[in-house]
Every structure is written in C-alpha cells, then in structure tokens.
Amino acid sequence: MTGEKLDRYVVRLKEGDAQAFDYIYERTHRAVYFAVFYILRDKMLAEDVLQDTFVRALSALEQYTPGTNFTAWLCKVGKSIALNTLKKRGRETVTDLSADPGAYGTQETSLPFVFDLARKVLSEEEYEIVMLCQVAGYKRREVAEMTGLPIGTVTWKNNEALKKLKKALEKEGSL
C-alpha cells in the first residue's frame, strides 16, 4: 500500500506539485543515505551524494516506471553517483591524509565503531536492512517495501545480521 501511495506522489510531482516532493523525501531519504553511506564510508560525502541523488532523480523523473519500486530506483541512482564519486576522487591528486583525515575536512575523524564494524562483517543487503530497521527506525514491513523483499526475508536477514554483528562485537571485546 505504501508503495502505491508513494507512486501517487511521484505522479503528482511529475505533474508539478512541488509539495509532493516533501512526502517523497521524507519516505525515502534514509534508505538512500544508508545505501550511499555503505559505499562511501564518509558521513559528509554521503550527505552530499544524497542531495545530488534527489537533484538527479528530479531531472530524470520521467525515466521512473510507476508500479515498480521507487525507493529502490532512488537507491540505484544514489549508488551510481556514489560509485562515480569514488572513481573521481581516486583520479584526483590528494595530499597524504592518512595521518589525520579529519584535519582536511574530507572525512570525519572517526566513524561510529559499530557502523564501521557492521560494514566489515555484513553484506551490503544485510547492512542496508540493519541500518533501516535499527538505526533509521523503519518497520520491517516498510523496509520490505523499500527493498522489494518479502517481510519474512527482511525479518530473517535483520536477525541474522544482528547475530553476526553481536558475534563480531564479542570477538572485538566490545560487549
């Protein structure tokens, strides 16, 4: 039902209703953020890519096919921008930032330990589900709609990912 409602707002946005954007953004921005954060591992850069994603999506809104998963489409756009951003940054000549990356403003001085560990031990799909369910506060039903997975699969993957994360935290001595 939520996917259908989101599609109605997308149609309204295509017709020029700027207020529909507020609803769309509120329902999708966290999913897009965690999808790009997984790739970039940099909070500030992920926030920039999040904004770029919505700008690009607005200009390419006609390419979205109603009835498909709009959130997944946005995440795909965001992931593409994130990967292009990494490629572009790889081509740039950069001063050695390994000693103190935060001093140059390119990356936070430290990511929350559990996010960094989660990225290391979980698959991309598991990471996205855990971040949406546990951090962003979406219900598993909502995450199922966003990801296009059955709710049972989301529940199972969330539980298994939390077990993996707990095991990794115990191994690190953090629990």
The C-alpha atoms of residue 146 and residue 138 are separated, in whole angstroms, by 10
CA angle 80/94/111 to nearest 5° reads: 60
The C-alpha atoms of residue 38 and residue 159 are separated, in whole angstroms, by 19
Q: Which CATH architecture describes the domain 110-175?
A: Orthogonal Bundle (1.10)
Query: What is the pLDDT at residue 3?
Result: 78
* Region 51-57 average pLDDT: 96
Q: With cut-offs at 50, 70 and 90, classify the pLDDT of residue 90.
A: confident
For the chain, give the number of residues.
175
For the whole model, what pTM was predicted? Answer: 0.71
| Residue 33: DSSP 8-state | H
Per CATH, the number for 1-95 is 1.10.1740.10
Return the minimum-mean-pLDDT range out of 3-7, 14-18, 32-36, 74-78: 3-7
Q: Where in the chain is the domain with CATH 1.10.10.10?
A: 110-175
Using the structure block, give the residue that is written with the tokens 């790739």: 39
Tens digits of per-residue pLDDT, 96-155?
Answer: 444 444 444 444 444 567 788 888 899 989 998 998 888 888 889 988 988 889 999 999
Q: Where in the chain is the domain with CATH 1.10.1740.10?
A: 1-95
Tell me which of 107 and 59 has the higher pLDDT: 59
Q: With cut-offs at 50, 70 and 90, classify the pLDDT of residue 84.
A: very high
Query: What is the pLDDT at residue 150?
Result: 95
Query: What is the pLDDT at residue 22?
Result: 95
The C-alpha atoms of residue 53 and residue 61 are separated, in whole angstroms, by 11
Is 31 exposed, middle or buried (CB count within 10 Å of its CB: 0-12, 13-18, 19+)? Answer: buried
CB 43 within 8 A of CB 49: no
Query: What is the pLDDT at residue 174?
Result: 64
How many CB atoms sit inside 10 A of residue 142's CB?
20
CB 95 within 8 A of CB 150: no
Tens digits of per-residue pLDDT, 149-175?
Answer: 999 999 999 999 999 999 998 888 765
Q: Please provide the average confidence, as pLDDT, over all residues in the chain.
A: 85
Query: What is the pLDDT at residue 99?
Result: 45
Residue 69 has pLDDT above 50, yes or no: yes
